[in-house]
């Protein structure tokens, strides 16, 4: 999953892709580099971000989704939003996946949108604080609630993808613990998405590296995440992370990475 932030304030690439033509060009580049999904987001979710009204988020994402669909009609686009109004309009415009960083627990209408359109949905673990009784089990408990919410709205369970929410409601050490114990999420029986790309925990572990210089750290988390069960990795640096994913798949998932030995 290639990240396309059409925002002025995202932590890593804010302002780079706010022009529609530039955003589409970057999306097409990521597709050429091996992205299977383009994740379009119109509101930054970095710590301390300013919330964006739905109409402004729509103004940012809808033209980009339509343009990507025009230039790459077979591409899979996801909408990164926790607002039902935005998700509904985005799917109508051509998005095929809903990616909700609040796991259907912030906007009560989000689950209904996914169910109405019968599109796959990513439900991510998130919370306002960093207090846990038992970190991984609390994450699993919250994700179960998100899954129940989706199913109650009418979304088939097979369309639900889970995300442990690295960087959301967690300290740096808790992020590392979550990745270390991520295999426990398999108990939920749903595909796992992992989004670690360029995040601050990587920068802290590597001595304060800026977001644009965290590719090796991201690669380590992608490889480990796949070994722990991640089916989708959400990344900025598609070309390099595609290679990491293919190599890791060849080792831990024989036959699924496309390498047959011939």
Q: What are phi and psi of 170, to 5 degrees?
A: -145, 145
> Is 199 annotated as catalytic?
yes
Number of H helices, E strands in the chain: 9, 8
Q: Quote the CA–CA distance of 35 and 239 in Å, as a whole number.
A: 8
Given 83, 198, 199, 228, the catalytic residue: 199
Given 60, 83, 214, 234, the catalytic residue: 234
Q: What are phi and psi of 255, to 5 degrees?
A: 90, -20
Per-residue DSSP letter, 17: T
Cβ 81 vs Cβ 42: under 8 Å: yes
Burial of 69 (0-12, 13-18, 19+ CB in 10 A): middle
Cβ 151 vs Cβ 112: under 8 Å: no
The set of residues, in sequence order, having a beta carbon less than 8 Å from that of 4 and lying 6+ positions away, is 17, 23, 26, 27, 30, 38, 39, 40, 41, 64
> Is 234 annotated as catalytic?
yes
Catalytic residues: 199, 234
């Amino acid at each position: 999953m290639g990240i396309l932030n059409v925002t002025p304030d995202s932590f890593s690439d804010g302002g780079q892709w706010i022009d529609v033509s530039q955003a589409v060009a970057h999306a097409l580049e990521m597709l050429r580099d091996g992205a299977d999904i383009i994740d379009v987001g119109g509101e930054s979710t970095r710590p301390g971000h300013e919330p964006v009204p739905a109409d402004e988020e729509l103004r940012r994402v809808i033209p980009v989704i339509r343009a990507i669909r025009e230039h790459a009609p077979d591409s899979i686009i996801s909408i990164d939003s926790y607002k039902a109004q935005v998700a509904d309009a985005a799917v109508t415009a051509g998005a095929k996946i809903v990616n909700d960083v609040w796991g259907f627990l912030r906007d009560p209408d989000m689950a209904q949108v996914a169910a109405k359109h019968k599109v796959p949905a990513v439900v991510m673990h998130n919370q306002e604080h960093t207090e846990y009784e038992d970190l991984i089990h609390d994450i699993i408990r919250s994700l179960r609630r998100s899954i129940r919410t989706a199913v109650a709205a009418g979304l088939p369970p097979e369309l639900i993808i889970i995300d442990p929410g690295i960087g959301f409601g967690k300290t740096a050490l808790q992020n590392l613990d979550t990745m270390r114990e991520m295999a426990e999420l398999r108990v939920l029986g749903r595909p796992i998405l992992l989004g670690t790309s360029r995040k601050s925990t990587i920068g802290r572990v590597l001595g304060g590296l800026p977001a644009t210089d965290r590719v090796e750290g991201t690669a380590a988390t992608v490889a480990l995440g796949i070994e722990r069960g991640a089916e989708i990795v959400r990344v900025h640096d598609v070309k390099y992370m595609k290679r990491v994913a293919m190599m890791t798949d060849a080792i831990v998932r024989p036959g699924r990475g496309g390498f047959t030995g011939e």
